[in-house]
Structure 1
């Protein structure tokens, strides 16, 4: 047994007795959960459907996750904002666009965002955990983009200013995502970058 399962915060620890759990089944279950979230949404998702899609028994799932909320929370954490965007490295503007597009630029990502909101309403504690992960992710990526901007000729930003910009980015991303599964238009993402984030990140910089 590897320690890969520790990446999932809500997964039950493997039993110390009996056969060693097959980690590859974790991936099958997570992938099946994400596919079904995109296809049918959070409320129609159930453990039986996940088991069928993953090719495992319901018992296999329940040995790992005891509730749908736990499974969905860990599944959401594996994609979308959990992954670093592919930054073009051509300009600060393009790097910021890559970040926003990663967060909410496709229909599948928007469905995941909607599912996260539904989880938050059903389980405030899990909702708090998901929001915390999202805030941490955006802060980390904004910090990285700000540091990279020095290579484009901009002066470094203070940690305080980076935190304020990150908070603004989080609020905007949550607001524009809304309770739908539709992707955010590229023009709207560009407007947020051009008129908000770029202004905040370059004001007072050369």
Structure 2
């Protein structure tokens, strides 16, 4: 993958547009990213409706606009994953879009995660540059997009793999049982699932 021009700007939001974000990664951001991962916990799976939700860690200092956490449409609920480990899951009260997670109180939030499915279409898969007729009708042609960069977990991998759904390939060098850097990592799903 060719390195994108710096700085990298990511915009997105909920389906109805009430909650928006706009982040610019710091200059010289390391590629592949080291703050993205696939979360296989049951809570993220049910919250997003995706078998393998992808997340990206972002920081308030990167934000170009006020955080969506302060919008009147923002809702959250708190989950207690493990003793001493609390997560707040944010969503839009209008359309129900799952936005992401955070651990700190909103007034003290320094960083949080966003679900990659909330990234704007043009940012994720590129701008429409035309159409091409084919065997199955018109096909939209696109240029650009950061999907490959954002979904590349080769530096991070997957977390909570003990909840992995059999039959789905988990890319990345490390598969963590539990939280990254706090749990035990495995190079094999079978070993992770059977570990005690």
For normalisation by structure 2, the TM-score amounts to 0.29
For normalisation by structure 1, the TM-score amounts to 0.28
Q: Which has the higher strand share?
A: 2
Q: Which has the higher helix share?
A: 1
